[in-house]
Amino acid sequence: MDSTNYKFRLFSGHLIPMVGFGTYTIRGSDLIQEVLDFALGAGYRLIDTAYVYNNEQDIGIALKTLLPKYNLRRQDIFITSKLPPSHHGDRVAAALTTSLKNLGCNYIDLYLIHWPGQAHTSVKDPSNVDVRTKTWQHLIQAKKSGLVRDIGVSNYNMKHMSELLRNCYGEMPAVNQIEWHPHYHQIELLEYCQKHGILLQAYSSLGGTNNSHLISDAAVVNIAQKLNKSPAQVLLKWALQQNIAIIPKGRSKEHIVANINLDFDIPETDMLILSNIRTTRKYAWDPDEVL
């Protein structure tokens, strides 16, 4: 299947592209304009950002010129943003309003709780539990008002997910965006999400900002050489082949195009090799510390 057309149907009925363009650490109006031009030209239709990435406004400005360039309308693209840890609870509306203004949109396709803990509060503070529940209620209201089309979470582990599903007020999270790659993958969490129809979306698929350890892993390199693909393409396809969505980022046209050119299959024997690499290494922050 053409990876640019590979989509997942969320609970709402809306379709989310399984391959999106991540923008973490990509800042500056000129750079954003350039990479989004490459991304839209390559076929990406999902743009992933967040309040704390400090690039929403530049993305909004870039889309004003780039959508017409590619004969696209707002409804032709899928925008994800995230609630910052500083705006849990009663501050949800303020953060969402700012993100909508920054992006120049009247709705966001998917809005995620970025982190299960609160800013300036100990990760061990029991209040995190009640505040998460209150935050979810505010996200439900935002969805009902039409400001967001779907809501979900990011960096939620098994404890956080099971807690949310017990107190979701009839509104299941559509997506859980987490770190996921052959050096760090939680099979129990994947099975739990898939059992409940929740899409797992991977970030740090290539190992994060400093990805040399994962990209150069001997098993990854050997399989890439055998398939005549890059190690990055193999890592991305490994997740996609497990029905896990991906949001790779890139700065060069070459990498941006390659990251969506995933119309190949990894043989099952090689999938097993990648899934059983003995190295265990987490490259991003650890939500397991958050009560």
The shares of helix, strand and coil residues in the chain, as percent rounded to the nearest 5, are: 45, 15, 40
SS3 for 149?
Answer: strand
Phi, psi for 47 (deg, rounded to 5): -120, 125
Q: Inter-axis angle of helices 218-227 and 268-275, to 10 degrees? A: 160
Q: CA-to-CA distance for 283 and 143, rounded, in angstroms?
A: 32
Domain ranges of the chain: 16-211+239-251
Residues in the chain: 291
Q: Is 114 annotated as a binding residue?
A: yes
| SS3 label, residue 241 | coil
Neighbours of 85 (CB within 10 A): 20
Q: 150 by DSSP, 3-state: which?
A: strand
> Which residue in 125, 121, 116 sits closest to 154, CA to CA?
116
Distance from C-alpha of 221 to C-alpha of 231, rounded to nearest angstrom: 6
Please count the helices (runs of H) and the strands (runs of E) in the chain.
11, 10
Indicate the helix (H) or strand (E) that contains 100: helix 92-103
Q: Which residues are catalytic?
A: 53
β-pair partners for 113:
83, 153
How far is it, in rounded angstroms, from Cα 214 to Cα 224? 13
Please check whether residue 109 is in contact with residue 47, taking contact to mean a CB–CB distance below 8 angstroms: no
Cα–Cα distances in angstroms (integers) from residue 114 to residues 11, 21, 51, 158, 176, in the given order: 20, 17, 9, 16, 10
Residue 185: HSE in the Cβ half-sphere, 13 Å Cα cutoff: 23
Nearest to 148 by CA among 82, 56, 51, 203: 82
Cβ-proximal residues to 5 (8 Å cutoff; 6+ apart), any chain: none
What local confidence, expressed as pLDDT, does residue 5 receive?
A: 75
pLDDT at 4: 64
- Tokens, residue 91: 């501050």
Q: Side by side, which strands form the sheet with 175-179?
A: 21-22, 46-48, 78-83, 108-113, 148-154, 175-179, 199-203, 245-246
Does the domain at 16-211+239-251 match CATH 1.20.1560.10? Answer given as no
pLDDT at 1: 44
User: Consecutive 10-residue runs of the chain (291 residues): their mean pLDDT?
Assistant: 78 97 97 98 98 98 98 98 97 98 98 96 93 97 98 98 96 98 96 98 86 88 98 98 97 97 97 95 91 92
6 DSSP assignment:
-
